[in-house]
């Protein structure tokens, strides 16, 4: 069995969705390696069975489909009862729908929102009564830099992250009085399994967009990707902080891109401000 790190500054209890791959897997193992305890969840229990072999009683592996609100409530309560508390609730499960705005159909969009938006909400709603009762906790949500900027072809995925951001920002104001903290994690491009078939669903394509999408995917393939294993220390700094941020970027490219996007928005709003102000009407 893996030797545990008994660092007295850790000893936190985590609840993590989407622990089987990507950031969820990286952060689950990193937390366990530093001596914390983790309730690790995945849609298929077999995908995280090896965690139990490696980390023994420090990990509780649970099967969870975040789109099943009843199962979410049961599993969150089971994890809390098992460890006696939950210090960190990390919503990480999600996937991307690939398709232009015209191509994706309503069922595909709805299914992605069930996982990316309503799933995290179910986890939050199940956890909040427990966190209030224990006197506090920290809710983390894995969003994306695409919660502030947008790319074509994955516009519906971007929209789910914009919704995710709004929900968590509102939540932070609502639960502050209960001693519950909220942080939105915003990774840039990383070399995770996010591009795997398990993390992507493709809408049926229309020929008219084929050349555009080919150029788009070529540009994505040239994008520099970070090392996901380098992100764990940033996450630990956030959860160990007395006053953690509402948002934190992961990666060096996010902030310049976001600065540019917001500068362009501000410039456009300023340019049209007289038209906007006139739309207020005569308020005297």
Instruction: Check residue 2 and give its pLDDT.
Output: 34
Catalytic status, residue 143: yes
- pTM, whole model, 2 decimals? 0.91
If phi > 0 it is left, if psi is from -120 to 50 it is alpha, else beta; for residue 58 that is alpha
Instruction: Check residue 133 and give its pLDDT.
Output: 97
Instruction: Please answer whether residues 40 and 59 qualify as being in contact, where contact means their C-beta atoms are separated by less than 8 angstroms.
Output: yes
Q: Which residues pair with 110 in a beta bridge?
A: none
- Per-residue pLDDT tens digits for 5-43: 334 446 899 999 999 989 999 999 999 999 999 999 999
Instruction: Select which of 20, 143, 159, 160 is catalytic.
Output: 143
- Per-residue pLDDT tens digits for 73-97: 999 999 999 999 999 999 998 899 9
Average pLDDT, integer, range 215-233: 86
Average pLDDT, integer, range 228-256: 95
Residue 164 has pLDDT above 50, yes or no: yes
Instruction: Check residue 194 and give its pLDDT.
Output: 52
Instruction: Check residue 193 and give its pLDDT.
Output: 57
Average pLDDT, integer, range 159-183: 97
> What is d(CA 216, CA 221) in angstroms, rounded to the nearest whole number?
9
Catalytic status, residue 73: no
Instruction: Select which of 20, 161, 181, 190 is catalytic.
Output: 161
Instruction: Select which of 55, 95, 157, 190 is catalytic.
Output: 157
Catalytic status, residue 37: no
The pairing of strands 247-250 and 137-142 is: unpaired
> What is d(CA 49, CA 42) in angstroms, rounded to the nearest whole number?
10
Instruction: Check residue 201 and give its pLDDT.
Output: 87
Residue 256 has pLDDT above 70, yes or no: yes
Instruction: Please answer whether residues 82 and 39 qualify as being in contact, where contact means their C-beta atoms are separated by less than 8 angstroms.
Output: yes
DSSP for 87-139?
SEEEE----EEES-TTTS-HHHHHHHHIIIIIHHHHHHHHHHHHHHHHT-EEE
Domains with residue ranges and CATH for the chain: 13-255 (3.40.50.720)
Q: What percent of the chain has pLDDT over 90?
A: 82
- Per-residue pLDDT tens digits for 123-160: 999 999 999 999 999 999 999 999 999 999 999 999 99
> What is d(CA 30, CA 14) in angstroms, rounded to the nearest whole number?
11
Instruction: Check residue 101 and give its pLDDT.
Output: 97
> What is d(CA 165, CA 141) in angstroms, rounded to the nearest whole number?
9
- Per-residue pLDDT tens digits for 55-73: 999 999 999 999 999 999 9
């Amino acid at each position: 069995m893996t030797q545990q790190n008994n660092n007295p500054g850790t000893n936190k209890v985590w609840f993590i969705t989407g622990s089987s791959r990507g950031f969820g897997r990286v952060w689950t193992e990193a937390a366990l390696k530093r001596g914390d305890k983790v309730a690790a969840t995945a849609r298929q229990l077999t995908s995280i069975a090896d965690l139990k072999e490696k980390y023994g009683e420090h990990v509780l592996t649970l099967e969870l489909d975040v789109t099943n609100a009843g199962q979410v409530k049961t599993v969150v309560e089971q994890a809390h009862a098992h460890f006696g508390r939950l210090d960190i609730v990390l919503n990480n499960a999600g996937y991307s729908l690939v398709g232009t705005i015209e191509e994706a159909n309503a069922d595909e969009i709805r299914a992605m929102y069930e996982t990316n938006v309503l799933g995290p909400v179910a986890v939050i709603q199940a956890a909040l009564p427990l966190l209030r009762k224990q006197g506090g906790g920290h809710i983390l949500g894995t969003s994306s830099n695409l919660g502030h900027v947008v790319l074509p072809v994955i516009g519906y995925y971007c929209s789910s992250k914009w919704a995710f951001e709004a929900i968590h920002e509102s939540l932070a104001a609502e639960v502050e009085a209960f001693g519950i903290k909220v942080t939105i994690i915003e990774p840039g491009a990383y070399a995770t399994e996010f591009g795997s078939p398990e993390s992507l669903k493709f809408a049926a394509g229309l020929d008219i967009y084929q050349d555009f999408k080919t150029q788009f995917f070529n540009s994505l393939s040239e994008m520099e990707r970070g090392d996901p294993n380098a992100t764990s220390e940033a996450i630990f700094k956030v959860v160990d902080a007395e006053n953690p941020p509402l948002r934190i970027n992961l990666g060096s490219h996010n902030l310049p891109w976001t600065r540019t996007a917001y500068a362009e928005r501000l410039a456009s709003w300023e340019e049209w401000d007289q038209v906007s102000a006139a739309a207020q009407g005569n308020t005297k």
